[in-house]
Amino acid sequence: MRILRIISDVDPRAGGPVEGLRLSSMALAEMGHETEVVCLDDPQAAYVSSFPFPVHACGPVARKYGYTPALSRWILANGHRFDAAAVHGLWNHASIGGWQGLRRAKLPYVVFTHGMMDPWFKQTAPLKHWAKQAFWLAWQGKVLRDAQAVLFTSEEERRQARGIFWGYDYAERVVAYGSSGPSADAQGEIAAFHARLPEVSGKRFLLFLSRIHSKKGCDLLLEAFASVAGKYPDVDLVIAGPDQVGLKALLMERAEKAGLTARIHWPGMLSGPAKWGAFRAAEAFVLPSHQENFGIVVAEAMACGTPVLITDKVNIWRQVEASGGGLVRPDTLTGITDLLMAWFDLAGERRDEMRYAARLGFERHFRADVAARDLADALQLAAGKKAA
């Protein structure tokens, strides 16, 4: 098949959706499928030219919505070259303009919601939710209505999305989602991480690696760590990731007031060998999110045999808990504090068992090639509609 992927941007700092697109496209290529991407990026952006698949950038656009008529025009002019398409994400012009172009080009498609129909958003921003409901009736709901399938990456995500918006029905499908693993050069990856953050070389530390955002529970993690740090003085905390909303300065101020400046480290965004080295060197990976559609970083940590400490708002928590490769608690200060304490109180042999279980859990649930096969099946069904 020739597959078109439609997404707002391919900037790696955007997090899980673009990384999932990249990894699944690589696995699809090994299966003999070809992928091209159309997005709203500035064509001059360095990450556009370095992306491993052809990218047709229709920007630059003004964020956040990102309107440009160039997107639908490009799809209309080029849609005949593809067998099926996948639209990634909601509430932006990649979704709406993509739908407009796909409909005119008569190219069948599927939609990944990427957690953007989670009830957490309705609970935390009810007024914004009603604005989205109006937008759903006018535009967004039609995108899902006309899709051959709306793809959810866990049963938890599918269940939670039901009834969040009303006005249009759509066909649901749960597909696997996952990550690639690290390279075979464990020592080289760990060395790359220590070159980036030499302060933790030879030390015990917990790792948070994601966007620094209130949705990710970074404030809860810092407060929970501060409450137990005195009892475990030999453990540090690494908070790695891009700061897109200006939260880092506030968190660093809190760390200073708690007297933990020397024990909390901020290396910024980690990628490539340094990222995998961080997972490998960490004692455990922590993701205290209030809302997480999948959590590709959870799969990456498990691929390294690193136990994961997560909340029950990470939609793959049931698979993690069943695998034995991590611990799960509620997304509250009490819950995160208990999560850290439960890890620290584990006997050494139990931690070793959890590391082994984490790797097995990755192999069973979160491999990128399994996810690619599920996506290929969904796209082939969609392509069959075009042939018919």
pLDDT of residue 64: 84
Sign of CA dihedral 319, 320, 323, 327: negative
> Which residue range is the domain that position 284 belongs to?
186-365
Question: What's the rounded mean pLDDT across residues 304-322?
Answer: 96
Does the pLDDT value for residue 111 go beyond 80?
A: yes
Q: What is the pLDDT of residues 164-173, one digit of tens each?
A: 999 999 999 9
pLDDT of residue 348: 87
Whether 374 and 321 share a structural domain:
no
Whether 345 and 372 share a structural domain:
no
Whether 194 and 340 share a structural domain:
yes
**pLDDT tier at 386 (50, 70, 90 boundaries)?**
low
SS3 340: helix
**pLDDT tier at 388 (50, 70, 90 boundaries)?**
low
Tell me the whole-structure pTM to 2 decimals.
0.86
State the chain's mean pLDDT as an integer. 95
Q: What is the pLDDT of residues 54-106, one digit of tens each?
A: 999 999 998 789 999 999 999 999 999 999 999 999 999 999 999 999 999 99
Whether 358 and 377 share a structural domain:
no
With a pLDDT cut of 90, the percent of the chain lying above it is 88
Q: Are 306 and 280 in contact (CB under 8 A)?
A: yes
Q: Supply angle C-alpha 318, 320, 325, rounded to 5.
A: 150
Place of tokens 């990427």: 114
Question: What's the rounded mean pLDDT across residues 147-159?
Answer: 94
Whether 221 and 356 share a structural domain:
yes
In whole angstroms, what is the distance from residue 209 CA to residue 291 CA? 15
Q: How many domains are there within the chain?
A: 2
Whether 212 and 171 share a structural domain:
no
Whether 78 and 220 share a structural domain:
no
Q: What is the DSSP string of 274-286?
A: HHHHHHHH-SEEE
What per-residue string of b and e applies to 78-97 under the rule 16 or more CB within 10 Å gives b? bbeebbbbbbbbbbbbbbbb
Whether 171 and 283 share a structural domain:
no
Q: What is the pLDDT of residues 29-50, one digit of tens each?
A: 999 999 999 999 999 999 999 9
Whether 373 and 328 share a structural domain:
no
Q: What is the pLDDT of residues 250-264, one digit of tens each?
A: 999 999 999 999 999
The set of residues, in sequence order, having a beta carbon less than 8 Å from that of 259 and lying 6+ positions away, is none
Whether 350 and 201 share a structural domain:
yes
SS3 266: strand
Burial of 349 (0-12, 13-18, 19+ CB in 10 A): exposed
Does the pLDDT value for residue 4 go beyond 90?
A: yes
Whether 208 and 357 share a structural domain:
yes
Which backbone phi and psi does 27 adopt, to 5 degrees?
A: -70, -40
pLDDT of residue 387: 60
Q: Are 281 and 304 in contact (CB under 8 A)?
A: no
Question: What's the rounded mean pLDDT across residues 326-343?
Answer: 97
- Name residue 247's amino acid: L
Q: For the domain that residue 279 is a member of, what is the CATH number? A: 3.40.50.2000
Task: Give 307-313's long-range contacts (Cβ < 8 A, gap of 24+).
Answer: 307/343, 307/351, 307/354, 307/355, 307/358, 308/284, 308/358, 309/206, 309/284, 309/285, 309/339, 309/340, 309/343, 310/286, 311/217, 311/287, 311/335, 311/336, 311/339, 313/120, 313/289
Does the pLDDT value for residue 15 go beyond 80?
A: no
Q: Supply angle C-alpha 30, 31, 34, rounded to 5.
A: 80
The H or E element that residue 122 is part of is helix 119-124
Whether 155 and 192 share a structural domain:
no
Q: Are 284 and 343 in contact (CB under 8 A)?
A: yes
pLDDT of residue 308: 98
Question: What's the rounded mean pLDDT across residues 359-383?
Answer: 93
